[in-house]
Copies of this chain bind each other. A is one copy, B any other.
Amino acid sequence: MKEDSINALLNPKSIAIVGASATPGKIGYSVIKNLLESKFSGSIYPVNPKDDVILGLQNFKSVSEIPGPVEAAVIVVPAKYVPGVIDDCGKKGVKGLIIITSGFSEVGDIALEDQIVKQARSYGMRILGPNIVGTLTNSTKLNASFAPYLPLPGKASLITQSGALLIAIDAISYTRGVGFEKLISIGNMSDVDFADLITWLDGDPFTSCISLYIEGFKDGRRFIEACKKTNKPVIALKAGVSTHGAAAAASHTGSLAGSSKVYDAAFQQAGTLRATDLNNLFDRTLALSLQPTMKGENMLVLTNGGGVGVLATDAAEKYGVPLKFAPEDVQAELKKHMPDYGSAKNPVDMTGMAGNDWYYKTVKFSYAHSWVDGLVVLYCETAQTNPEEIAKSIHKAISESGVKEKPVTISFVGGERSDKAMRWLVENGIPTYNAPDLAVNAMAALREFHNLREIVNHKAYKSSSNGGVVARKIIAKARKDGRGALTEIESKQVFAAYDLPIAATQLSTSEDEAVALAKKVNFPVVMKIVSPQILHKSDAGGVKVNIKDEAGVRDAFKTIMVNTKNYKAEAEIHGIAVQEMAPWGTETIIGSVNDATFGPTVMFGLGGIFVEVLKDVTFRVAPISESQAAQMLDEIRGAPILNGARGEAPRDKKALADVLCKYAAMIYELQDEIAETDANPVLVYEDGKGVKVVDARIILKSK
């Protein structure tokens, strides 16, 4: 039923315009004019209290007066009248509300926005907006917006959180030749959000690629889940990635912007491609809407100019698909279509001597060759060749090859004739760009999307232990004591309940007990103060390490007690923890936050300078799969350390990935209780020898 309502929003058969106007320049006039000019075939009903006819259409005093069914209503009346209109629509049985009107949460009136959503829901209606430009659909000729015309037809659909951009993109579609099936303005996302629309577009036969301009999500997890479920490429331009930018985004849409690194993780987990800027969004949209993905790693570059070939080579490395030399047999064949001083390696440089015939033959051969997983064809405009003919030769070779499911991208570097030829190629289904690096970037996107999809639906690790029961008991006790954090011992008990490998630690409340415990865990040991009021134990003189015998234990017990009393006399002392002294290993850190947008999110990094100086950490929204954990270990800058840099044996990455999975499962399960956690340090031993969590901290959610 909800799906049905979204259908009514995007593809209605009948539409009312509430706030219709007979005055040119008014939005209530423009929307009707646009619906008429776009040749929308459904019923159009202007609604306002005074007119009889608007733009040749019968006007109605209210929605309820309309004789036939009304699937959607475009609302443009001032904000204060919107609640009344919603009731009117609800009673009529309208399914979707396209609320163009502004003056809601974006100017601080959150209450009014909440009210209209509640109201609409009570009638089973969905809201697109408020504060939007409207929505445009090429396949049904629907321009329910104040953007002046439908965009150039195409296979991509774009959802944007900036209305101004929608209007600009509408115009750009024609000048750059990037076509769209739908342009949807999402505004304040009071109800319908990115996730709803992505899910709906997944079933839309006219959409092959979904492009997004995002300033912030309200519920990040719904976005991830929606993206994971569609096999259509989703490309996101996330604005507000800088500190200053994030602030601007928040004030602009009233939505919460999560930290840039958490967004990076979320897009990765959602299997969503990123665009670096507006032009990159168009460029990648063009490629992803027209071409299949690149399924292997061999990209071949054909060119008639060494210069653009070198630039393509640089770009290939920059965008993660470095060129490899083509095999001998491929080179031998290509050598036939170039002068002696050409190069058949990769990039394949046919030199400026290349004409229609060489392009035709090399493209036809390369595109069909099994070694080639993706083909990039470059052409530098010359005085001796005609770009239009070169374009036709390339297109003919591709068409005749009979090959399917292999991507090709093209770059023509030149003037007006090249621009014309490029436009023709795009119209014939081949993404073509005005610079070599752009053609390579587009191919890299086709490769990246393939790679993202490979692991996006791997199952996340789920805890099989009954750790939750144990953990909740410990947490309940701390809450009962009025504490907002667990002690180290309690934190470790929670970790242990989730099968995390902690350094054995037990609480002693007397010297004798400490000695007994030390003997149990074996010397040498570490001793640490346990007090809810002392979080920075070392600063308080509350930590002693490498204690080798009974005398040492007794001595440490006394010293720690004195030190901590001097440090904070009023501190409540639970006792002193006696812990096995874990042998040296590579220091790492695991932690978590409960992100405002994405909820429980796990962090991983190497310890020491990596985390403190280089901020070399990576995030994933919990829970995570084994392959995601493995990616985390590989994507930090210090990754070589784990692989055994500086002559050391490789570290136990398998055990570490396993711990990350369990950790993520833990914070996910306990998200209603836990705000933040730290496991620091987590020592990683050589391959096969596991991992040890030395210190632990759990901060509770305030309730």
| Contact in complex: A165, B613 (CB < 8 Å) | no
* CB of A370 closer than 8 Å to a CB of B: no
A306/B435 contact (C-beta < 8 A), A242-B316, A414-B168 known = no
A526 to chain B, nearest CB (A): 21
Collect the chain B residues with CB atoms within 8 Å of residue A240's CB: 310, 313-314
Complex interface bits, A338-357 against B, C-beta within 8 A gives 1, otherwise 0: 00110101010100100000
25 contacting pairs across A/B (C-beta < 8 A): A30-B383, A107-B341, A148-B383, A160-B307, A162-B305, A163-B352, A164-B304, A164-B352, A165-B308, A165-B413, A168-B418, A175-B416, A215-B307, A237-B311, A239-B314, A245-B311, A248-B343, A252-B306, A278-B308, A278-B435, A279-B438, A609-B609, A609-B645, A609-B646, A612-B646
Q: Among the listed B245, B438, B641, which residue makes an inter-chain contact with A310, where contact means beta carbons less than 8 Å apart?
A: B245
A459 contacts partner chain B, Cβ-Cβ < 8 Å? no
Residue numbers in B under 8 Å from A173 (CB-CB):
415
Q: Roughly how many angstroms separate A698 CA and B641 CA in the complex, as a whole number?
A: 30
Contact with B along A250-261 (1 / 0, CB 8 A): 011100000000
Q: Cβ of A244 and Cβ of B323 under 8 Å apart?
A: yes
Which residues of A (418-448) have their CB < 8 Å from a CB of B? 418-419, 434-438
Q: Which residues of B contact A645 (CB under 8 A)?
A: 609, 612-613
Scoring A252, A310, A316 by chain B CB atoms within 10 A of each residue's CB, the highest score goes to A310
**Smallest beta-carbon distance A343→chain B, Å:** 6
Q: How far is the CA of A148 from the CA of B249 in the complex (A)?
A: 49
Query: Chain B nearest CB: distance from A612 CB in Å?
Result: 6
Expressed in whole angstroms, the Cα–Cα distance for A681 and B243 within the complex equals 38
- Tell me, yes or no, whether A701 is within 8 Å of chain B by CB: no
Cβ of A417 within 8 Å of any chain B Cβ, yes or no, is yes
Q: Tell me if A409 is interfacial: C-beta within 8 Å of chain B.
A: no
Min CB distance A577 to B, Å, is: 25
Which residues of chain B have C-beta atoms less than 8 A from A380's C-beta? 164-165, 167-168
- Using CB atoms, name the residue of chain B closest to A162: B307
State in angstroms the CA–CA spacing of A237 and B437 once bound together: 13
* B315 with A277: CB separation less than 8 A: yes
CA gap between A683 and B44 in the complex, in Å: 79
- Knowing A277-B315, A612-B646, A613-B645, say if A162 contacts B244 (CB, 8 Å): no
Number of interface residues of A (CB under 8 A): 91
A309 interface residue per 8 A CB criterion: yes
Interface residues, chain A, with chain B CB atoms under 8 Å away: 25, 30, 102, 106-107, 146-148, 160-165, 167-168, 170-175, 213, 215, 237, 239-245, 248-249, 251-253, 277-279, 304-311, 313-318, 322-323, 340-341, 343, 345, 347, 349, 352, 380-384, 413-419, 434-438, 609-610, 612-614, 637-638, 640-641, 645-646
> B638 to A147, Cβ gap below 8 A?
no
- Which of A25, A307, A610 gathers the greatest number of chain B CB atoms within 10 Å? A307
The 3 closest A-B pairs by CB, nearest first: A171-B415, A162-B307, A164-B305
By a CB distance below 8 angstroms, the chain B residues around A646 are 609, 612-613
Please, which residue of chain B has its CB at the minimum distance from the CB of A148?
A: B383
**Roughly how many angstroms separate A240 CA and B323 CA in the complex, as a whole number?**
13
Number of copies: 2
A308 to B253: give the CA distance in the assembly, Å: 13
Sample of 5 further A-B pairs with CB below 8 A, known A172-B434, A613-B645: A106-B341, A171-B414, A175-B415, A248-B343, A614-B614
A455 to B430, CA, bound (A): 48
- In the complex, what residues of B have CB within 8 A of residue A343's CB? 248, 251
Q: Which residue of B lies closest to A641 (CB)?
A: B613
Determine the chain B residues whose CB is within 8 A of the CB of A417 once the complex forms.
Answer: 171
Q: Is the CB of A307 within 8 A of B244?
A: no
Report B-chain residues with C-beta under 8 Å of the C-beta of A30.
383
Residue of B nearest to A322 (CB): B244
Closest chain B CB from A653 CB (angstroms) = 16
Nearest-CB distance from A8 to chain B (Å)? Answer: 25
Per a CB cutoff under 8 Å, which of B162, B168, B307, B413 touches A381? B168
Residue of A241, A343, A417, A438 contacting most chain B CB atoms (<10 Å): A241
List the B side residues contacting A162 at CB < 8 Å: 305-308, 310
* Chain B residues whose C-beta falls within 8 Å of the C-beta of A437 in the assembled complex: 277-278
Taking a contact as CB atoms closer than 8 A, the residue among B248, B315, B323, B382 that contacts A306 in the complex is B248
Task: Verify B248–A347 contact, CB threshold 8 A.
Answer: yes
A311 to B161, CA, bound (A): 13
User: A171 contacts which of B316, B352, B416 (Cβ < 8 Å)?
Assistant: B416
Q: A168-B414, A415-B174, A640-B613 are in contact. Are A435 and B249 (CB under 8 A)?
A: no
